[in-house]
Structure formats: structure tokens, C-alpha cells
Structure 1
Amino acid sequence: MAETAQTRYRVEGMDCASCASKIDTAVRRVQGVEDVTVSVTAGTMTVRHDGTSDLAALEKKVSGLGYAVSRLSGTMPTPAPGHQHHDCGHGHAPGDHDHSHKSAAGDEHRHADGESKDPKPIEGLHGHDHGASTGPWWKSRKGKLTILSGAALIAAYAVGHLVPSVASYAFIAAMLIGLVPIARRAVMAAMAGTPFSIEMLMTIAALGAVVINAGEEAAAVVFLFLVGELLEGVAAGKARQSIQSLAALVPKKALLEENGQTRSVPAEMLAVGSIIMVRPGDRISADGVILSGDSAIDQAPVTGESTPVRKTIDDAVFAGTINGDAALRVRVTAAAADNTIARIVRLVEEAQESKAPTERFIDRFSRYYTPAVVAVGALVAIVPPLFFGGSWGEWVYKGLAILLIGCPCALVISTPAAIAASLSAGARRGLLLKGGAVLEALGTVTAVAFDKTGTLTEGKPKVTDILGFDYPEGDVLAMAAALEAGSSHPLARAILDSAAGLEIPAATDSKALGGKGVTATIDGTLVFLGSPQAANERVLLSVDQSARIAALNDEGKTVSVLIVGKTLAGAIAMRDEPRADAKAGLAALTSRGIKIVMLTGDNSRTASAIGQQLGIEVRAELMPEDKQKIVLDLKSQGLIVAKVGDGINDAPALAAADVGIAMGGGTDVALETADAAVLHGRVGDVADMILLSKRTMGNIRQNITIALGLKAVFLVTTIAGITGLWPAILADTGATVLVTINALRLLAPVRNA
């Protein structure tokens, strides 16, 4: 059996659902093609095929329809159909089977340019501009054709006014200027397997109007059709650019440091491990880790954070963010094709190819809807004159109008336009959603289960309290830092971070005492830092001191006691503290009636202290299988459950949940494994995801109402003889434009109420 593989393409010029449908139908007829996924909003097509497929013929067929197609990748093996890409056992929304090959598809972007092909589209084939969608609209072929058609219509009116005897011929000539490209495209689509295209309905209606001596209206309808298609293209281009604009944040040049010298090089040429210099005010040109320097980084272009974040040695920085007040030396950790922004853009484009259940239903509905419209139009044109003595001219005219009213473009684009805009808006602030099914499912969530460490908390301990018994608090911290110098233990790092800026004394003869603490000599005196139990073996703690330490322990804090010689100097308390927005983020969920619960393997005392501080129900001391069982219990109560964790050690619970959400700072785990990811570690973003989903589903309902409502109104008025052909075309192209513009409102920032 031939190996299944997939190839991904960039398709230029798609601006409506009709475009995607025709391409999908044509490509599926190519031998060896098993599945096709086309995204209008992303401008991409993914083809799953076997070794018998002639990709050159496939590309020729798409370009024959008038679309510029270029291969984004070589051919790669893919999982068998139906295989879910749940490497880490993350959950998925019910019914979502459209992203089983995402990992492979993501890798496909990383191929040499030499593999790319760009077949030239056939000039003048149709009314759509299937060239690049860049530049002003009036310079595009679609724009030029629309302007020419409008000018011809005006000229026809002028000629008809001056020479009435040739008016009908003038309007027919004006009509043909716009109709010929549309008709040629209709024929090509029919030959490729799509006989009931909007272009075919348009061609039949226009030619029929000429036959019944309505040439003036036919010319007007063709012009309005082109105007509507032009507006669709402009709106679709805006939606597409909203996510691609992220890529423009990364500077094209970088200052590469080699042999003590710096030189400007293209950012795309930077290799992993390269050292770059970032001057104050410059955008950082690659993902990396700071080697030297301390600066405030403005991450607003990528994360939406309103205030700069102070970063220093060993901190990670992202491509596209802006260096503030000091020069930085950064070691590159990801090539240009794999930096955080590039991966977000790539994964959002792939997500836009994944259809939501609502979208799949409308696609199936439209397959029967369009032929039904043709049948209804034919019946309206034939039955009244044939059986009830109606006028042929009147009823044929009404039948032609029904063809235009019934075109399904607005209905078919209503869902993908809204979903694409939402995916783009979410990605711009670090909310990554793996497709329409996940986006749709999030709006139904009624319970959210959170991991503690690294999800509700920062994931690393911080110094919370310094107790000075016989020494000042500053001296206690400085001497503790001297003992921990050079250690990589999380508690040691917490002390060293807290002591930054203090004068640290020199320590010698440092020794680690397994399970107890560490000793060293400072200024000739033996100093010990360790657990209260070990400290009590050296110097007896008073009742008051023990009580203060016990109170800190009850708050879930780890306490280290400092002894200088035979003197109890003081104590330092540390704890993995909640994220800054955790309390507000959880409150946003509960205010919407969503149940929240913390699932953690940590001890009950620490978990309860954090839970009480955040106001969340706590289930502690859990094994991974215990977390999974709790998620299943919640689902058995009729709740729709989202699980938020790190994407690895919460795998069973993530798999059991309706939606698995990874919390992470743009890591591979957060980007590649879960159904959704909060890239920038804000707990409040979980509530924003749910809000975004609800806004999207509301927008989709509005779009469907607009699409079907306008058609219903014009259907009634047309049969009643109130409206004619040119208002009928507004029921289609006008509705499509309104639906697209309404969907673009979702590009506005997400803000929780």
C-alpha cells in the first residue's frame, strides 16, 4: 500500500467560500488524493495523498481555475486518517477530527525556497482577482475589471440617452465586459466538478435577462456583482493580514557578534547558538536567552502586556519585543522559522483550516441548498406560465432573480469568517486555539480544573518573609545568599534573587549537609542555613521563635533558619506564590457561573493556603490518575470541563477533559500539544478564551441571521413583484459583505467584563 503523505500550499486570490469549494472539488478529483482542507481566511490548502498522486497535475488544475498556487513544503508522511495527534494525551473537543495532522503540517513550513512552485494564473479567466492580495484594490485585476465594468455601464447610459435606438446593444456590450470573465470561470468550475457555482448562477441570470429584454438590469447586476466580489476580497484580505501582521514585528536585520565584533546580518540567517547584540530601543530579532545586561522589555506587541517586564541574565526573550533602556547580549535559541511568532502564525493558519461542527454542518447543508435553489428558480419561471396562464416574461424574470437571491456565499462564509477573525484576535494576545471545534467547545465550558504549580502559581519559590532574631533582616538575607552562592536549587535561587543589590560577604569552606542544610565560614565564623529541625539541634529555638516559624509553615511556606556561630540570627520563608492575576482571573470565571477547582499533587497544607488566598476549591496530594478521575467525575455531573495544566505531567487529566489548555510561555509544549494554550501565563486569559468563544458563537448566529434573513426578505419581495434583478444581487453579495464586516469586529481586543 502506498504511503500516505501530505503537502501544503499557499493559494493566492481566494476571497469567498465559493472559491474554496471549487478548489476542494477539483482537487478531490485528482487520482490518489485522500483528503483536502482549504482555508479561505488563511489562504492555504493542505492535501493528503498517496504516492500515485501527480502533484504537478494537481497544481495545474488549481491554477487552471485561476488561482496562483505555490507549494509551502515538500511531501511528508502523515498519520493514518482518524489518528489523533495527542502526543501528550491532551483533550479534544467532541467531534473535532480536523487537526489530526497538525504536527506534520507545522513542520512543512521549514523547507527550502527551492521547493516552491508558483504556477501563473490564467489571465482574465474570471471576475475574481486571483493574484496577490497586496497593494491598493484599484491596482488589482479585480479592481480594474470592476472600474472598467462601471465605466462601461455609465457609457451605456450616456449612449442610450443620446441614441435610444442602440441603447439595448450598449447595455449588452457593457454587461459582456464584466460577464465574459465570470462566464469563463463558471465553465472552468463546471469542468472541474462544480456546476452550481455562483458564477454559473450569475451567468444564467444575466443571459436570461438579455433574452427577456432586460439588458439594462443585466448590466447593472453584473457591475454590482463585481463590486460585491471586490468588497469581499478587501475584507478577506484584512482578515488574512491580521495574523500575518504578527510576522512583521520581527526585524529583518540583526547585530551578530563574532570574535568580539558585531555586524549586521539578515535575521533569518541567525543560527541557534548565535550571539546577537540588541541596542536600547531596538526590536529583538530572535527568541533567545540573555547572556549579559539588564533591561525592561516591552512585550506589548506580542503579549499585550501594558507595562514593560524587567529581564536580566538567563531570562528568556521573544522575537519582536522591544528592548528598553540597556544593551543586551542574547544567545539565539530558535531559528527564524521556529521563533515564537512564526510558530503562532503557522499554528493559527493551520487552525483556520480546521472546521468547527457548525461550519461542517453548513458546508453539508449548502451542497443540497444550491441545487435546490436552481430547482426552485426553474419552477418559479416555468410553472405559473405553463399551468396558470402567467406571463412568461414576468415569471422567467422572477426565476432569474431567485437564482441570484439563493446564492449561498453569505451563508457559507458566515462561520469561517468569524472563526478566523477570533483565532487571529486570540493569537495576537497569546490565546492559541487549535481550530474552530476547540473555539466552539470553549464557549460551552461550565467547569475549569487548574493545576497549581506553574499554572495558578509562578512555578518557582520566592522569598516572602525575613525574620530577624538577633541580626538585622538585611544581614540575615545577605549571609544566607553567601551560603547559597553558586547553587542551582530552587530555594537557593529564590534567596539569591531576593538578595540582588545587597553586598554579599565572601563565604569559604562551603559544605552541603544532606537533608539538613548548608554550612560555610564567613569572617572566621561558622554559619549554618537549614531546616528548623536541623537548626534546633544546634541552637535551641525559643517558644516564640518556634511559634512564628510554625505560623509561616501553616501558610504553606518553607522556612530556612540561619545560625551564626552559636547565635540564632534569623529565618527566611519562601513559597511558590500565586501569579499576579490569579485571583482576578479566577474571579472572572466564577462571576460567569463557572465552577473552579484546583487539582494538585502538593501537600494539603501548602495547597490549602494557596486555595484560601485565591478563593478556589482544593483537591490536594493527588496522583495523575486521581486528577483524571476527578475530571471524569465532574463530567459525570453533566459539566463541560476544561483542564488547565503544563501539558506534560497532567496528561491523563488533560486527555479526560473536554478541552485541554496548556499554560506556558511560548514553549513547544504549550504550542504543540494541547487543544489550546495560554502562551503568556496569565490566569485571566482562560476567562478571556471562554469570552472569545461566546463572542464568536454570538457573531456566527448574527451572520447566519443576516445571510438567511436578507434572502428571505428579497425572496418574498421578488415573488410579489416589488424587487427585481439588481436588488436580488444585493441579497447575495451585499449579505456576504455584511457578514464578513460583522465577523471582522471580532478582531477587536478581548476584554473580560
Structure 2
Amino acid sequence: MTAITTQTRFRVEGMDCAACATKIDTVVRKMPGVADVSVSVTAGTMTLHHDATSDLVSIAKKVSGLGYALTPLAGQAPNANENAHTHDHAGHYDGGHDHSSASRPWWKSKKGLLTIASGAALVAAYGAGKAVPSIAQWVFVAAMLIGLIPIGRRAIMAAIAGSPFTIEMLMTIAAGGAVIIGAGEEGATVVFLFLVGELLEGVAAGKARASIQGLTKLVPRTALIERNGQTQEVAADAVAVGAIVLVRPGERIPADGVIVSGESAIDEALMTGESKPVRKGVDANVFAGTINSDAVLRIRVTAAAADNTIARVVKLVEEAQESKAPTERFIDRLSRWYTPGVTVVAFLVAIIPPLAFGEAWGAWVYKGLAILLIGCPCALVISTPAAIAASLSSGARLGLLLKGGAVLEQLGKITAVCFDKTGTLTEGKPQVTDVVAFGRNERDVLSMAAALETGSTHPLAVSVLKRAKADKVPVPPAGEASALSGKGVVGRVGGVNLFLGSAAAAGERVALTPEQTARIEALNGVGKTVSVLLAGNIVAGAIAMRDEPRADALAGLKTLTDAGIKVIMLTGDNRRAAEAIGKQLGIEVRAELMPQDKQRIVDDLKHQGLIVAKVGDGINDAPALAAAHVGIAMGGCTDVALETADAAVLHGRVADVAAMIALSNRTMGNIHQNITMALGLKAVFLVTTVIGITGLWPAILADTGATVLVTLNAMRLLRPV
């Protein structure tokens, strides 16, 4: 019988590099009841899959012994098993760490204070050594111990837990060896430089981590809710689904919702990158954190604070950062052999020349200790996850959600993209494209049609009313208005009986001339739906509507084809309408397809050797999304876009598919640069150390410098292109 596992997520404080994550992973994975563990340096989180026998308090105590603190996320609390003595540890669940440290300036953090103390002790030791040369060696040892004792403690705890080859262990051995061979001054300097490097890594990692967490600061802390005819200010995270909130001009919207009254321009720039505010009115969706520009809005809340768009984006990105790309998994496997291998090389360099060739022990032990420090794999291991995390965060800020490093890496290999039509390449709602006058002028035709459609929520009626408003056409009141099932609507305007409906239904009432019929058929021929307006016994005119392509569809598809990527439209719509849109966009069309047909076509393309992405709305395209190498959800339904497929385009831009692929290519280029820097610097310093040009402190600078350079290079991906 399979044990039931539970998922618990933690915030991990003090974790700044990939070596930290490896230590935590190794320790926690060996704890009873743990089925799986995933640690993300860049997100600062750990996800634990465990059964009922797992003691979370004991796990937290083990992790705190390594120098980190665990804080349960989303209200989760430690739940020790029944036999655990939780009263001894409950007060120490955080390992004695300050949970607010992430928001503190570096000089107030524990690492910052330790680094400052070590630096001050080093300066004092130099002064004392100059003043009293006979005690120089001992004062440098004392200065070294200020920083080395915490490092050594973490090294011993990690070794006991099964991770002997840590940077802390290498540092402890190197510093201890320096004292033995009389290089206390260098030992103290190396410890200080190591602490500086750790501090810089922490600052860089914190900046990368804050880039996505910064989204949560867009949501205001308070909201004005309507209750019993009065407004009341409450905490934004306490607003319930269904509540009505009042948002004044210039204020941020406190929750996801639907406008119930008012019309205003909504500034969504911080979420979508759009420079111009979007005008929205009744029944339009609005998102937490966007800015209401110029009018009072009443909004019905549709999602709780923990489940609004921004919160879900942050959660999905953090979870994605815990998912490793193939390149990252390869580097992880390599590092497991790399560090022990370098340790063996350092040992051989230290003993073979003195034993075999009679060389001086002090000089070669010194070189061996320097090689130990060069051997730290931090820069190599962080080279891939740092770049991937920065890209995931950057993409999320642009409305591009990528669910993990594997997806990000795969996107750069895409050679074919299959698009759905409705709601993907098109807006997903009909628009009036033509107003044709037969017996009346165009303004009269549109005015009378809008009068009949007033109050209707049918998509075709909404499009007519929207066009009338845009053209500033007067809409007179209609009397005796009613719908005729399957045929159209009737009513009276200004004493004239009106009918608006299909050409076939209009033909049953009034004979259409050959010219009128030809014009209607021509509009039908390009995929447009035509409604004919009758005024009494006269054919007054016609209104043509079609679900039009998105504004950026043509440019977005061209960007893909210019990059040599094959693009195809897969749609269940009728062939005539699909081919009309396909001709307009210059894309190959496969129409009148069932969901299984779309899946079959995706499989066929894969068998041709193409790497296929499928872009759709995430519901009727589900089989094809699953079959593709990368499934990308796009459309008006935010929930679907967030929770289906491998990736999601939140803002409905066709060009964003090309942007995702470009982001992948930039990321992989950045990763290759990082790996080259990490290995190149180590190779240079390895050679210079063996031939005697560099020593201990340049070795630690090589390790720390490479790690910081790699992290800073990865952070370039956070900048908009």
C-alpha cells in the first residue's frame, strides 16, 4: 500500500548559493518519512513531500544546524509525529534566525555583522602585529577564529549529515592548514574574503529573489468595501470573494474583480508592459495592483488575496524555480564528482612532490590548500539556476509564465508553432467590420440596429452597440422589442417596424434583390456573419461582423517565420471563416478539426522531426497542448492561462510567443557564458597556483569572484530587452 504524502513548503533564510541548497537537500532527504525534497536557491524555498511519520520540527532543527532557518509558507505549521518531543524545539523552529533579515540592509544581517567583525579583527591583528611582531602569528590566528568558528561548525554539521565535501569544509581545512604551515596572516585574510564573498552572494541572490516578490507590493494594503450602504476601510487581504469594493481615481485596485458600475482607464503597465491605459467599463475584468486612472469604480471581488493574479504568478514562478532544467541537472551531477576530484588533486599536489622528488613540504602543502579553495563548485553550480530564475522572474513581469527550467530550455529549440484561432490569433469576440446601406444611410442602419439590440448580452448585439458608441451614433428607444428564436429580433423605432436577423430569415419577409444577395454572399465569402436590417417592407441595410485578428497577430507571426519557425493554424471553426483569417495573416490553415484531430496533427509534426509548441485556450485544445513538446495557454481566461499547459501568455499577445522563444535563447546564451566564466577562472588560477604565481587569497578570490560574476551576469536577464 502506497503511503499518503503531504506537500509542505518553507521559506529558507540564509541560503545564498547552490552549494547551500545541496547541503539542505542531502540532509533533509535522509530524514524519516521524507519522500522527496526540492530546494530553490533563487526562490529561497524548499518543498517537502512527506508522509505522516515525518517530524517537521526535527527537520527544521537539522537544517538550523547547518546555519539556515525554515519558516512554513501559506500558514503551514510544524507537525511533529506523535512520538516527537515537540515542546523542546517549538520555540526554536526558526533556528534562532531573524525572519525579517531579507528586508534588512546587509550590514544589519547576521552575515553582515560577522563579516564586519572579521574585517575589524583582521585590521586590529595587522596593527598589533606591526606593534609587537612576536605575537603577530597568534593575533592573526585569533582574528581568523572569529570567522572560522561559525564556518567550521557548519562544516562539521554538514559532514555528520552526509555532506563532507562542502565549501565550509574546504575552507576549514585550508585555514587550519595555513596555521600549521605558519601562514596565519593569509589564513585570516582568506576567511575574511570568504565571508565577504558569501555576503556578496547573499546580496545578489536577494536582489534576484526580490524581483518577483516585488510584484506583491503592487497590491495596496487597504481597500474600501461597501457594507450596508456605507463604505468601510479594511485590510486588502481580508476582502472576501463577492464583496463590492470602491476604487477612487488614482488608487490601485485591491483585488481581482469585475466592474459593476463606472468606466475608467486602467493603467496595467506594471503588469503588462502596455504604455497606454486600457479603457474598461461594466463587466470588464480588472486585476489587483493595476491603477484606476480617472473615475470612481465599483468592483465585485472574484478572488481572495491569496488567490489573485499576482499571488498566483508569484507562487507559480517560485514553484517553477524549483524545477530543474536538463542543463542544471547535468551540472548538479558533474559537481558531485567535481569537488571530490579536485580534493584528490589537491591532496596529490600537496604530497607527491615532497615524497617523490624531495621538494619542500611547506610550499607544496600551501599549493594544495590553495587548490582546495579553487575546487569549490559554487560558481559552476549556480551558473544555470541563477540564469533560469532571472528569466522566469523577468518573463513573469511581462506576463510570460514558464513552468520550470526544462520548459524554458525547450522553448529555444522550437521549430514549429501550432495556433488555435478563436481567442488566440483572434480577439475571441465578433466586431462590426462593415455597415452596408441599401434603403437608408449607414448611420441610420447602425442607429436602428443598436436600438433593437439595446439590453441584450448576446456577443453579436454587444458588438453592434460597441460600434454605435464608437461612431457616436444616437441610439433611440425601441418599443415592443423581442427576440425570434433562431431568426433575429423585432421592435418599433419612431413608428417603424424593424427586423434584424439572418439573410435567410430576412428573405422570408422581404425579397432581396440580386445585387443585395451578391453583396451579402461576398461578405460571407470572407468569413463574415451578416445580419440584414428591414425597416417596414424595405431592406434598409446590413451589418457584417467577424472575429477579427488580434492587433499584433500579423507582426507576431512574422517574427516567428523570420526566425525560420513554421506556423500553422489548427481550428475547429468552419473552413471559410478560418481561411479568410488565414489569408489575412498569411498562415497555413487546417480547419473543421475535432480536439483529437489537433492532437494527431501535432503528433505528425513531431514525427517529421519538428520541435512543436501548441498555443491555445487550454480547454478544447487540451489534448494537443499535452501532446506538444511545449503547450502554451493563451486567451481571455486568466485561470486557464495560469493553470494549464507548460507555459502561459497572460496578456493575449501573439508576439509574446516569439518573446518567450527569444527569452529562452537569451537564457541559454547567458548560461553558456556563466559556465565558461566559472570553469575558465578556475582553470587559470589552478595553473598559476601550481607554478607558484598565486596563493591562498587569490584562490578564494577566484571562487568568490566567479560566483559573484556569474550571479551578476545572470541578473542582466532581469532587465527588459
State the TM bucket, normalised to the shorter chain.
Answer: over 0.9
Q: CA deviation at 1:421?
A: 0.5
Partner residue in 2 for 1:615 = 586
Partner residue in 1 for 2:692 = 721
Q: Distance in 2 between matches of 1:259 and 1:478?
A: 40
Within-5 A mapping of 1:680-695: 680-695=651-666
Q: Secondary structure at the match of 1:132?
A: helix
Partner residue in 2 for 1:119 = 93
Partner residue in 2 for 1:373 = 342
Q: Secondary structure at the match of 1:699?
A: helix
Partner residue in 2 for 1:3 = 4
Partner residue in 1 for 2:620 = 649
Q: Secondary structure at the match of 2:35?
A: strand
Q: Distance in 1 between matches of 2:486 and 2:258?
A: 33
Q: In percent, how many aligned pairs have the same letter?
A: 73
Q: Deviations over 1:434-455 (max 9, x none)?
A: 0111011101101100000000
Letter in 1 for 2:653: R
Q: CA deviation at 1:544?
A: 2.7
Partner residue in 2 for 1:709 = 680
Q: Distance in 2 between matches of 1:528 and 1:255?
A: 46
Q: CA deviation at 1:733?
A: 0.9
Partner residue in 2 for 1:348 = 317
Q: CA deviation at 1:680?
A: 0.8
Partner residue in 2 for 1:408 = 377
Q: Which runs of 5+ in 2 are unaligned?
A: 78-89
Q: Distance in 2 between matches of 1:302 and 1:412?
A: 32
Letter in 1 for 2:568: V
Partner residue in 2 for 1:479 = 448
Letter in 1 for 2:71: S
Q: CA deviation at 1:513?
A: 2.9
After the TM superposition, list the runs of 4 or more consecutive aligned residues in structure 1 that deviate by more than 6 angstroms. Answer: none
Q: Distance in 2 between matches of 1:151 and 1:540?
A: 99
Q: Is the Cα–Cα contact under 8 Å of residues 131 and 140 in structure 1 kept in the other structure?
A: no
Q: Distance in 1 between matches of 2:473 and 2:247?
A: 28
Confirm or deny that 1:195 pairs with 2:169: no
Of the three residues 650, 654, 663, the one matched with 1:679 is 650
Partner residue in 2 for 1:488 = 457
Q: CA deviation at 1:134?
A: 1.6
Q: Is the Cα–Cα contact under 8 Å of residues 633 and 647 in structure 2 kept in the other structure?
A: yes
Within-5 A mapping of 1:578-617: 578-617=549-588
Q: Deviations over 1:562-621 (max 9, x none)?
A: 010011111101000111111111111111111111011111111111111111111111
Q: Is the Cα–Cα contact under 8 Å of residues 626 and 645 in structure 2 kept in the other structure?
A: no
Q: Deviations over 1:142-195 (max 9, x none)?
A: 111111211221222222222222221221121111111111111111122211
Q: Is the Cα–Cα contact under 8 Å of residues 6 and 75 in structure 1 kept in the other structure?
A: no
Within-5 A mapping of 1:58-73: 58-73=59-74
Q: Distance in 2 between matches of 1:308 and 1:665?
A: 18
Letter in 1 for 2:73: L
Q: CA deviation at 1:531?
A: 1.4
Q: Secondary structure at the match of 1:47?
A: strand
Letter in 1 for 2:211: S
Q: CA deviation at 1:130?
A: 8.7
Q: CA deviation at 1:483?
A: 1.7
Q: Deviations over 1:699-736 (max 9, x none)?
A: 11111111101000000111111111111111211100
Letter in 2 for 1:690: I
Within-5 A mapping of 1:109-508: 119-122=93-96, 132-500=101-469, 501-508=472-479
Q: Is the Cα–Cα contact under 8 Å of residues 71 and 117 in structure 1 kept in the other structure?
A: no
Q: Which runs of 5+ in 1 are unaligned?
A: 77-115, 124-128
> Whose relative contact order is higher, 1 or 2, with alpha carbons under 8 Å and at least 6 apart?
1
Letter in 2 for 1:586: L
Q: Distance in 1 between matches of 2:145 and 2:549?
A: 68
Q: Distance in 1 between matches of 2:528 and 2:712?
A: 53
Q: Distance in 2 between matches of 1:216 and 1:58?
A: 39
Alpha-carbon distance change, 46 to 573 in structure 1, aligned in 2, over 3 angstroms: same
Letter in 1 for 2:247: V
Q: Deviations over 1:499-556 (max 9, x none)?
A: 2354322223333333322222223322111112222232222333223222221221
Partner residue in 2 for 1:669 = 640
Letter in 1 for 2:661: I
Q: Is the Cα–Cα contact under 8 Å of residues 12 and 131 in structure 1 kept in the other structure?
A: no
Q: Distance in 1 between matches of 2:361 and 2:99?
A: 39
Q: Distance in 1 between matches of 2:12 and 2:249?
A: 40
Q: Deviations over 1:652-684 (max 9, x none)?
A: 111110000000346221111110000110111
Q: Secondary structure at the match of 1:593?
A: coil
Q: Is the Cα–Cα contact under 8 Å of residues 613 and 631 in structure 2 kept in the other structure?
A: yes
Q: Distance in 2 between matches of 1:142 and 1:651?
A: 49
Q: Distance in 1 between matches of 2:112 and 2:409?
A: 36
Q: Distance in 1 between matches of 2:252 and 2:637?
A: 18
Q: Is the Cα–Cα contact under 8 Å of residues 65 and 154 in structure 2 kept in the other structure?
A: no
Q: Distance in 1 between matches of 2:551 and 2:293?
A: 22
Within-5 A mapping of 1:536-555: 536-555=507-526
Q: CA deviation at 1:73?
A: 4.7
Partner residue in 2 for 1:97 = none
Q: Distance in 2 between matches of 1:417 and 1:748?
A: 14
Q: CA deviation at 1:53?
A: 1.1
Letter in 2 for 1:325: D
Q: Is the Cα–Cα contact under 8 Å of residues 121 and 131 in structure 1 kept in the other structure?
A: no
Alpha-carbon distance change, 344 to 649 in structure 1, aligned in 2, over 3 angstroms: same
Q: Distance in 2 between matches of 1:357 and 1:117?
A: 40
Q: CA RMSD in A?
A: 1.6
Alpha-carbon distance change, 528 to 118 in structure 1, aligned in 2, over 3 angstroms: farther
Letter in 2 for 1:576: D
Q: Distance in 2 between matches of 1:618 and 1:341?
A: 36
Alpha-carbon distance change, 532 to 741 in structure 1, aligned in 2, over 3 angstroms: same
Q: Distance in 2 between matches of 1:132 and 1:533?
A: 72
Q: Is the Cα–Cα contact under 8 Å of residues 18 and 198 in structure 1 kept in the other structure?
A: yes
Q: Is the Cα–Cα contact under 8 Å of residues 340 and 666 in structure 1 kept in the other structure?
A: no
Q: Is the Cα–Cα contact under 8 Å of residues 257 and 275 in structure 1 kept in the other structure?
A: yes
Deviates more, 1:287-296 or 1:521-530: 521-530
Alpha-carbon distance change, 520 to 117 in structure 1, aligned in 2, over 3 angstroms: farther
Q: Deviations over 1:458-512 (max 9, x none)?
A: 1000111111222121221121122222322211221122223543222233333
Q: Is the Cα–Cα contact under 8 Å of residues 666 and 680 in structure 1 kept in the other structure?
A: no
Q: Secondary structure at the match of 1:246?
A: helix
Q: Is the Cα–Cα contact under 8 Å of residues 60 and 94 in structure 2 kept in the other structure?
A: no
Q: Is the Cα–Cα contact under 8 Å of residues 423 and 636 in structure 2 kept in the other structure?
A: no
Q: TM-score, with normalisation over the residues of structure 1? A: 0.92
Q: Distance in 2 between matches of 1:537 and 1:701?
A: 70
Q: Is the Cα–Cα contact under 8 Å of residues 518 and 528 in structure 1 kept in the other structure?
A: yes
Alpha-carbon distance change, 520 to 693 in structure 1, aligned in 2, over 3 angstroms: same
